[in-house]
Amino acid sequence: MNNCYIPLNSLPLGKSCKVRNLTSEGLIRRRMLDLGLTYDTVVKPLHKSPSGDPIAYLIRGTVIALRSEMSSMILVEAL
The domain of 17 spans: 2-78
Overall domain count for the chain: 1
Q: Is the dihedral of CA 36, 65, 67, 55 positive or negative?
A: positive
Q: Note the pLDDT of residue 61.
A: 94
Q: In this predicted model, what pLDDT tens digit does every residue of 60-73 receive, in sequence order?
A: 999 999 999 999 99
Q: Note the pLDDT of residue 28.
A: 93
Q: In this predicted model, what pLDDT tens digit does every residue of 16-59 receive, in sequence order?
A: 999 999 999 999 999 999 999 999 999 999 999 998 899 999 99
Q: Which CATH number covers residue 22?
A: 2.30.30.90
Q: What predicted TM-score, i.e. pTM, was given to this entire model? A: 0.89
Residue pair 65/2 in contact (Cβ under 8 Å)? The answer is no
